[in-house]
Structure 1
Amino acid sequence: MKKKLFIPGPIDVSGDVLNQMQKPMISHRSKDASALQKSISLKLQKVFHTKNQIILSTSSGSGLMEGAIRSCTRKKAAVFSVGAFGDRWYKMALSNNVPADVFRVESGKIITGEMVDEVLKTGSYDLITITHNETSTGVMNPLDDISRVLKDYPNVIWCVDAVSSMGGTKIEVDKLGIDICITSTQKSLGLPPGLAIASMSEKAVKAAEKVKNRGTYFDLLTIYNVIKNKDHQYPSTPNLPLMYALDYQLDKMLKEGLDNIYKRHLEMANYVRKWAKENFEIFPNEKYSSDTVTAIKNTKNIDIPTFIKNVEEKGYIISNGYGDLKNKTFRIAHMGDYSLEDVKALINTMNEVLEI
């Protein structure tokens, strides 16, 4: 029995998308490779709503997160964390000898523009990181609110982790003023894991030029310059099979229409939230709930591992809580190529297991 993945990545991948990875291999230094990578970049600019340069990396999203904070922090980074993946950015800074401070909020809460302003007005920081969509808590941070504050700090580089939201909800990179916006293929974009993606502003490029030790593989400035000077090629051999799949999937997304995709994701999210409120409780404030993954508080004190196991036996895989929230919450992802009908089938199955 094929099991459907409703976890916060990797997600199910459509068969026609997987088939694209069977195309014959080409040289990564060929004109065909340049054409493929240019095609992907132009389409991704539409998805990101940006004119900034697109960067691809054969890694998970964490690779470009590490690259961003190491490549562009000149003085000190302010890491704003709402959960496990915000904390990861702080750990990356420390392990790369990047000066950084972390500013945390209570689990399930958000980062506000006021909080960012209080930190930045000290003058101590020239880069900030924000997790847009925290899959450990189901929180989606208010980028609009933060963007308004950052307009008063033109020298600060703004890095956003949109790994689990880009493609599932509208993020207007240029309008918001995001300097580095990062995602990866295995979540809302509906592809296998293996490629990270980022947009990089000219301001971020200029900042990186002032940083001496940017590393090697995740040196964003080197990647940027090779793309610019060598016709969209990369310093190291990229994941070409996944690039074929990405190029194809982007065509599908643009044909469906980005606004239609956002609407589809919101419909799925609203359906799951309604079920959660009727039977449990949504973990974060619903106003700031993610459109791609819902974290549900275990108010019935059910045995979550057994519940997940019983749901899996019926063909669906959902997630336990993450880290300290394990067994206190469970998570349902609703992203990628799934439809409202897929979500309804999952909910019906969970109702059977719970006998409600």
Structure 2
Amino acid sequence: HSETSTGTATDVRAMAKAIREHSDALICVDGITAVGAHELRFDEWGIDACVTGSQKGLMMPPGLALVALSERAIKAIETAKLPSYYLSLKKALKSYKDNDTPFTPAVSLIIGLDESLQMIKAEGIENVWKRHQRLSAACRTGCEALGMRLFSNSPSFAVTPVWLPEGVDWKAFNKVLKLENGITVAAGQDAYAGKIFRISHLGFYDELDMLTVIGALEMTLKKINHPFEVGSGVSAVMKAFLEEPVAV
């Protein structure tokens, strides 16, 4: 639903509809970075399985995998012949009926999960989706105002990948951004290593976080002597937020 390395979102709703119209195949969704950032309606869209992790939109350390299953998926699991032991959904479903897990769980993370879900419930899941959409749009606006090109034509609301400006060395850029300005971004992977970087706005983020990130980008570009109009990025982000205030 949201691919992290390229910051690209896919239209799961449309894909699920097309599959349903032409096939009885089970629809399994990679929701690792989408759950908590993008609209995702499991039952309404006819999804059969969706997986996510605790370390993304659920705002926690890594360590928990969460799987949602439809009745169709459960029936398929019950009749499946593929051998499995530790990662056995049959065992997980059996234990689930007793409010348990097949093996010793990460108890502290489950307690943390309860708290993060309460935070999401208090904000309202649709408001959470809107917040991520709003923050990601402002982030893209700020980067473009600094003359940076966006990587994806179908941007994710969880992460924004940006092309490094022409002539900017990734290692020098990242060193200043991280060590002098206190901001950590993710590097590009494989063929895009040293060519793009990725800004996260997934989970516990707000408007001031985006202003801080774009401000740090400006300070970094200034330090490495890359030409741009000082204040243009921060001003663009501020304008985006002020023109579209948060609904209360």
TM-score by length of 2: 0.85
- 2:212 corresponds to which residue? 345
Give 1:238 deviation, angstroms.
0.6
Matched residues, number: 221
The two structures, once aligned, show a CA RMSD in angstroms of 1.3
Amino acid in structure 2 at the alignment position of 1:354: L
Paired residues for 1:56-205 under 5 Å:
132-153=1-22, 155-205=24-74
Alignment check: 8 A CA contact 2:9 2:156 kept: yes
Cα distance in 2, alignment partners of residues 215 and 301 from structure 1 = 50
- 2:88 corresponds to which residue? 219
Give 1:299 deviation, angstroms.
4.2
Give structure 1 stretches of 5+ with no counterpart.
1-131
Give per-residue Cα distances to partners, 1:212-258, cap 9 Å, x unaligned.
12311111122112212x2x111101111010010011111111111
Q: 1:282 aligns with which of 139, 145, 150?
A: 150
Cα distance in 2, alignment partners of residues 318 and 157 from structure 1 = 36
Give 1:341 deviation, angstroms.
0.8
Paired residues for 1:230-269 under 5 Å:
230=98, 232-269=99-136
Residue 79 of structure 2: SS of its match in structure 1? coil
Residue 44 of structure 2: SS of its match in structure 1? helix
Cα distance in 1, alignment partners of residues 81 and 167 from structure 2 = 52
Alignment check: 8 A CA contact 1:308 1:319 kept: no
- 1:331 corresponds to which residue? 198
Cα distance in 2, alignment partners of residues 336 and 324 from structure 1 = 28
Alignment check: 8 A CA contact 1:168 1:336 kept: yes
Give 1:276 deviation, angstroms.
2.4
- 2:160 corresponds to which residue? 294
Amino acid in structure 2 at the alignment position of 1:270: A
- 1:307 corresponds to which residue? 173
Amino acid in structure 2 at the alignment position of 1:253: I
Query: Could you say which structure has the greater relative contact order, defined with CA pairs below 8 angstroms and 6 or more residues apart?
Result: 1
Give 1:339 deviation, angstroms.
0.4
Cα distance in 1, alignment partners of residues 155 and 101 from structure 2 = 37
Alignment check: 8 A CA contact 2:143 2:214 kept: no
Q: Per the alignment, do residues 153 and 210 of structure 1 end up closer, same or farther by CA in structure 2, a change over 3 Å counting?
A: farther
Give per-residue Cα distances to partners, 1:308-339, cap 9 Å, x unaligned.
11111111101110122111111001011110
